[in-house]
């Protein structure tokens, strides 16, 4: 527990936050007015050129300042000037590792993150804030894939706003972010500008990037015949990545060997992305999207409406119970399965029409193996592919690959003697 000095005197090392315009918060004025020694980087010391205290400039790596600070403290109290809030991605954490609590006191100024979000009028009680200064981009990737919003990223010269915009583009997220670059906040040169996709622009330092998730208006003129971008679908608000990714969709469609006309069951349709792709390929296909999750059912309905399709029907409920009233399928796409697999596979074998094809996407080896063994025991011709896809993303001046979750893609074709006659 940190105790207050009963004498009322300031601790020997007072860390005072300073804005870019040189202002300090009211609680930082007393230690500044009493300071005999001011220590800090030259840019901050410049604001206090008229202060009578002795000035000690800090240069070089931050870690190299610790011996000098200890040396100065041995001679008496001093005030260390820091940017914004010293305990918010600042020097504060380093100081707490090298000095006892009774030697430290912090007097923060408003942080750049507070200024940025208040300037943009974005409530920030749920903001995700991270720094890529001297770090990699893995944490930012994870946050973006989760669809977090708002997100504030403290940049550095190696991880510029333009590079971060490239990262967002290359991740091909199922969500869309509106972005701003906020530079030199709190100074007369303050600048806040929107960052457009592909905009190769440099910004004054220091700067940070603010990202806010927005609903992107669909653009039918840019929809391809097949392989719709992930961000054109409505997805789960809390799990935007829970969608069959574009590349997996294309491989799945190839394995289904879709006919021009016929009936398709998409069991465990999720957001309906594959069902939408199938229905758009041929108006002669009647696609039944079976989904037991209520939110999933609503998402499929919204995606059907978005793409203006009349040959997709949503079936709310769990398989195999809801399959009884449906027409026999020419193709079946199966997602997941879990405990219902044991009762579902015999039904699919009985209902699948001649020359039918079963395709399944599995996330786990166990469920894939269970399905594979049962189908082979019934004489099916089965093929399994382990799909591992990585996407290129920027890494400083180079490129690296970020993997998607692996998928087991199973294709099963039954023997004619096991199929029920139409």
Average pLDDT, integer, range 97-106: 94
pLDDT (tens digit, 9 = 90+) per residue, 27-62? 999 999 999 999 999 999 999 999 999 999 999 989
Distance CA 355, CA 171 (A): 38
Task: Supply the DSSP symbol for 375.
Answer: H
Pairing relation of β-strands 176-183 and 191-194? antiparallel
Mean confidence (pLDDT) of the chain: 89
Task: Burial-class residue 279 by CB neighbours within 10 Å (0-12, 13-18, 19+).
Answer: buried
Cα three-residue angle 186-33-97, rounded to 5 degrees: 70
Task: Tell me if residue 5 falls in helix, strand or coil.
Answer: coil
pLDDT (tens digit, 9 = 90+) per residue, 136-152? 888 998 899 888 999 99
User: Lowest-pLDDT range, 111-120, 186-195, 196-205, 265-274?
Assistant: 196-205
pLDDT at 99 over 80: yes
Q: How confident is the model at residue 387 (pLDDT cuts 50, 70, 90)?
A: very high
Percent of the chain with pLDDT over 90: 68
- What pLDDT score was predicted for residue 343? 87
Average pLDDT, integer, range 261-289: 96
Average pLDDT, integer, range 327-351: 88
Whether residue 289 contacts residue 272, with contact meaning beta carbons closer than 8 Å, is answered with: yes
- What pLDDT score was predicted for residue 339? 67
pLDDT at 4 over 60: no
Q: How confident is the model at residue 422 (pLDDT cuts 50, 70, 90)?
A: very low
Average pLDDT, integer, range 68-87: 92
User: Lowest-pLDDT range, 3-12, 276-285, 290-299, 301-310?
Assistant: 3-12
For the entire predicted model, the pTM comes to 0.69
- What pLDDT score was predicted for residue 85? 95
Whether residue 241 contacts residue 253, with contact meaning beta carbons closer than 8 Å, is answered with: no
| DSSP H or E segment with residue 210 | strand 207-214
- What pLDDT score was predicted for residue 421? 42
pLDDT at 7 over 50: no
Q: Which residue has the higher pLDDT, 128 or 171?
A: 128
Distance CA 32, CA 18 (A): 11
- What pLDDT score was predicted for residue 176? 86
Distance CA 377, CA 380 (A): 7
- What pLDDT score was predicted for residue 244? 92
Estimate the share of the chain in helix, then strand, then coil, as percent rounded to the nearest 5.
35, 25, 40
- What pLDDT score was predicted for residue 420? 53
Whether residue 264 contacts residue 258, with contact meaning beta carbons closer than 8 Å, is answered with: yes
Q: How confident is the model at residue 386 (pLDDT cuts 50, 70, 90)?
A: very high
Task: Supply the DSSP symbol for 36.
Answer: S
- What pLDDT score was predicted for residue 336? 64
- What pLDDT score was predicted for residue 385? 95
Average pLDDT, integer, range 76-89: 93
Q: How confident is the model at residue 370 (pLDDT cuts 50, 70, 90)?
A: very high
pLDDT at 6 over 90: no
- What pLDDT score was predicted for residue 19? 93
- What pLDDT score was predicted for residue 41? 95
Distance CA 171, CA 404 (A): 10
Whether residue 344 contacts residue 319, with contact meaning beta carbons closer than 8 Å, is answered with: yes
- What pLDDT score was predicted for residue 109? 95
Secondary structure (DSSP) of 237-298: SS-TT-S--HHHHHHHHHHHT--SSEEEEEET-TTSHHHHHHHHH-TTEEEEEEE--HHHHH
User: Lowest-pLDDT range, 8-12, 142-146, 373-377?
Assistant: 8-12
pLDDT (tens digit, 9 = 90+) per residue, 189-246? 999 999 876 566 789 999 999 999 988 777 788 899 999 998 899 888 778 778 899 9
């Amino acid at each position: 527990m940190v105790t207050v000095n009963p004498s009322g005197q300031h601790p020997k090392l007072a860390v005072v936050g300073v804005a870019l315009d040189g202002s300090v918060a009211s609680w930082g004025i007393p230690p500044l007015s009493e300071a005999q020694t001011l220590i800090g980087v030259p840019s901050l010391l410049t604001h206090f050129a008229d202060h009578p205290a002795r000035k000690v400039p800090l240069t070089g790596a931050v870690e190299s300042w610790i011996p000098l600070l200890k040396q100065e403290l041995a001679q008496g109290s001093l005030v260390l000037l820091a940017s914004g809030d010293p305990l918010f991605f600042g020097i504060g954490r380093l100081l707490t590792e090298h000095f006892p609590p009774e030697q430290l006191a912090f007097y923060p100024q408003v942080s750049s993150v507070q200024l940025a979000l208040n300037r943009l009028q974005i409530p920030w009680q749920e903001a995700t804030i991270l720094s890529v200064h001297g770090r990699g981009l893995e944490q930012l990737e994870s946050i973006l894939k989760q669809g977090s919003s708002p997100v504030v990223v403290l940049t550095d010269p190696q991880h510029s706003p333009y590079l971060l915009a490239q990262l967002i583009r290359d991740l091909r997220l199922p969500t869309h972010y509106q972005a701003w670059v906020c530079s030199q906040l709190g100074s007369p040169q303050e600048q806040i500008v929107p960052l457009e996709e592909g905009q190769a622009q440099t910004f004054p330092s220091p700067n940070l990037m603010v990202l806010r998730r927005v609903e992107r208006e669909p653009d039918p003129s840019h929809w391809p015949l097949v392989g719709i971008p992930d961000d054109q679908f409505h997805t789960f608000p809390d799990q935007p990545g829970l969608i069959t990714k574009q590349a997996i969709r294309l491989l799945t469609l190839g394995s289904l060997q879709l006919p021009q006309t016929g009936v398709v069951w998409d069991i465990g349709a999720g957001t309906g992305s594959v069902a939408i792709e199938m229905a758009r390929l041929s108006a002669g296909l009647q696609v039944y999207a079976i989904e037991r999750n209520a939110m999933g059912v609503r998402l499929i309905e919204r995606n059907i409406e978005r793409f203006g399709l009349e040959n997709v029907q949503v079936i709310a409920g769990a398989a195999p119970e809801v399959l009884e009233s449906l027409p026999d399928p020419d193709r079946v796409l199966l997602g997941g399965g879990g405990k219902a697999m044991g009762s579902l596979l015999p039904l699919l074998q009985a209902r699948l029409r001649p020359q039918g094809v079963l395709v399944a996407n599995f996330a786990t080896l166990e469920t894939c193996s269970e399905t594979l063994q049962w189908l082979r025991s019934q004489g099916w011709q089965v093929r399994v592919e382990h799909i591992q896809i990585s996407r290129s993303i920027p890494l400083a001046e180079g490129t690296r690959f970020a993997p998607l979750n692996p998928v087991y893609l199973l294709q099963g074709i039954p023997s004619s003697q096991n199929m029920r006659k139409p």
